[in-house]
Amino acid sequence: MTPKRMTLFAGHYGSGKTNIAVNYALYLAASGRRVALGDLDIVNPYYRAKDSERELQAAGVRLIASAYANSNVDVPALPQEMYALTEDRSTFAVMDIGGDDRGALALGRYIPAIVEENDYDFLFVFNRSRPLTRDADSAMGVLREIEDACGLRFTGIVHNTNLGRETTPDTVLSALGAVRELTQLSGLPLVFTAARSDIAPLLPDQLGEIFPITLQKTIW
């Protein structure tokens, strides 16, 4: 993978986009880059990037998140410092976009600057194990809803079919047909397949580039 200055991850609720965003930020930091991770999910889900704050800080990743993250307060507010992701071009920025079209609305205010710089990847995270994205057609519906809500078109697909700790190589492989169909329907390339680090070496070349990830503690 050749990272762009900004990498944005979006997808259906429970697709695993936040876990991938955290792992990707850590991957960039491990390569010696200056990295910031922005949590743009304005609706509190089960898992937030802030759950990995200590690990991110230890790796030198700057985390920018709502003051209400990991609280019982559900306020659609983002901190002013989130603009640093688009303004500070000396930093590699990773953005975790809220699930579906409602969450993608929060991205809208940053899009003019993102498009102007034109050094970004906007990646749709596809998890065939989720109830509302069982096939390529339903995933395409979610993908288009997100694009229409935020006004930015996706540039690639990230495959992340998994069952958490119960995931096996066959779990990931079972989605191969759906992934191929989704890339054909969308016209977008498969950028990588994310897989738990112990499973990643067992996966075949048909799944494209494999990105090993570590499941964050909150979702173990």
> Which one, of 40, 44, 85, lies nearest residue 62 by Cα?
85
In the predicted model, what is the mean pLDDT of residues 178-197?
97
Over the stretch 35-74, which tens digit does the pLDDT of each residue have?
999 998 766 555 678 888 999 999 999 999 875 544 444 4
Residue 167 has pLDDT above 50, yes or no: yes
> Residue 37 pairs with which residues in a beta bridge?
63, 94
- CA–CA separation, 122 vs 139, rounded Å? 16
Higher per-residue confidence, 193 vs 101: 193
In the predicted model, what is the mean pLDDT of residues 129-139?
94
pLDDT at 168: 95
**Architecture of the 6-219 domain:** 3-Layer(aba) Sandwich (3.40)
| Mean pLDDT for the chain overall | 89
Please answer whether residues 191 and 157 qualify as being in contact, where contact means their C-beta atoms are separated by less than 8 angstroms: yes
Lowest-confidence pick of 14-28, 60-74, 142-156: 60-74
Given pLDDT bands bounded at 50, 70 and 90, which one contains residue 220?
Answer: very low
pLDDT at 124: 97
